Structure 1
Amino acid sequence: MRKTYSPSHANRGAGLERLIDMTNQQYRNKGVADIRKIPTPVQIQSNRAGKVTGYTMKPEWVDYSGVHDGRAIVFDAKETSSKTSFPLENISGHQYELLKSWHQKGAQSFLLVSFTKVDEVYLLPFELLELYWEDARNGGRKSIPYTEMILRCDLVKSEKGYVLHYLKSL
């Protein structure tokens, strides 16, 4: 897989999301799954003479949701420029709680984490995220080591014609 990530802070995550969106379209086209990007909510402030002004609101959902093999899927896409760990501060409390709630109800809940400096994407299952999240809440480590991602998470690659074949790991 070639690097397609933008170095600008404003577009952080846009490259990974583009790859996921292309893959999700492939999944839909082949009838494998229906997974969609959830748009960020916008608060309209005014609409004068066709000129709309507003601002993006704090999202209360994760980036993606859908269904695969009759089972709900919810996940978020995250990027880090660190070569050594994935900082848990990249996840908001509401995102964690949503993933947890859906996981408890039988959904496939996870993160797709891109380590941009090494051009690798990992599927971080909710169970491992929960282990580190709860440990951090109790004063433990505030990140997941890259070495742990290598050992306990699936590396997501382009294969079988899919841009980023993450469903293979579920």
Structure 2
Amino acid sequence: MQLERIIDMANNKYRNAGVADIRKVPSPVNILKLTGNRIVGHTEKPTWVDYSGVYDGRAIIFDAKQTSKTAFPLDNISLHQYDLLKSWSEKGAVTFLLVRFSKYDKYYHLPFRTLKWAWERAITGGRNSIAFAEFETMAAEVKSKDGYTLHYLEAV
């Protein structure tokens, strides 16, 4: 939730500055009961990624992930999220993960091509995660800058 709040603040600034229009995609809710103004239900498994929009004339979609470990587990990404990112990437959209390593309090922009490399490594019997050291060499660290809580578009 904290990561999403930070991203939402950056997205508001991007939108207000006319840089990009990127919005949080709400999680689907299965309503079980409605009594007056009271709703009882639960969130369903998301069928989309966390954010989508337009930047620099191109579609942009990404998912925000967080881990407290020293590596990012690939099982934090569902197959349908991976397939969606892959499909959009193949069609020219900007696709990536925005990953926070809470242990180090660092944020990274992981381009889809790097995620794809790690995913294929895992399905062929290799490591099922991306080590923090790999993020440091294969992803761009994202920081606060120029009044943005997280200036992640700088890495795009």
Query: 1:158 is matched with which residue?
Result: 144
Q: What do the CA deviations read for 1:52-104 (whole angstroms, capped 9, x no partner)? A: 2111111100000000010000000000001x211101111111011001000
After TM superposition, give the deviation of residue 49 of structure 1 in Å.
3.1
Cα distance between partner residues in 2 of 1:147 and 1:86 = 11
Deviating 4+ runs (over 6 angstroms): none
Counterpart Cα distance in 2 of 1:159 and 1:150 = 19
Secondary structure of 1:26's match?
helix
| Counterpart for residue 85 of structure 1 | 71
Question: Match of 1:3?
Answer: none
State how far apart, in whole Å, the 1-side matches of 2:39 and 2:104 are.
40
Counterpart position of 2:26: 39
Output the amino acid matched with 2:24. K
Unaligned runs of 5+ in 1: 1-13
Aligned residue for 2:130?
Answer: 144
Aligned Cα root-mean-square deviation (Å)? 0.8
Q: Which residue of 1 aligns with 2:89?
A: 103
Which residue of the partner structure matches residue 11 of structure 1?
none
Partner of 1:48: 35
1:22 positional shift: 0.2
Q: Is structure 2 residue 120 aligned with structure 1 residue 134?
A: yes
Aligned residues: 156
The TM-score normalised by the length of structure 1 is 0.90
User: Per-residue deviation at 1:143?
Assistant: 0.5
TM-score by length of 2: 0.98
Mapped partners of 1:167, 1:145: distance in 2: 23
- 5 Å-filtered alignment, 1:55-74, equals 55-74=42-61
2:2 is matched with: 15
Aligned residues: percent identity? 58
Cα separation, partners in 2 of 1:163 and 1:50, compared to 1, 3 Å: closer
Structure 2 gaps, min length 5: none
**Cα separation, 2, equivalents of 1:49 and 1:24:** 34
Inter-partner Cα distance in structure 2 for 1:100 and 1:27: 25
Q: For 2:9, what is the secondary structure of its paired residue?
A: helix
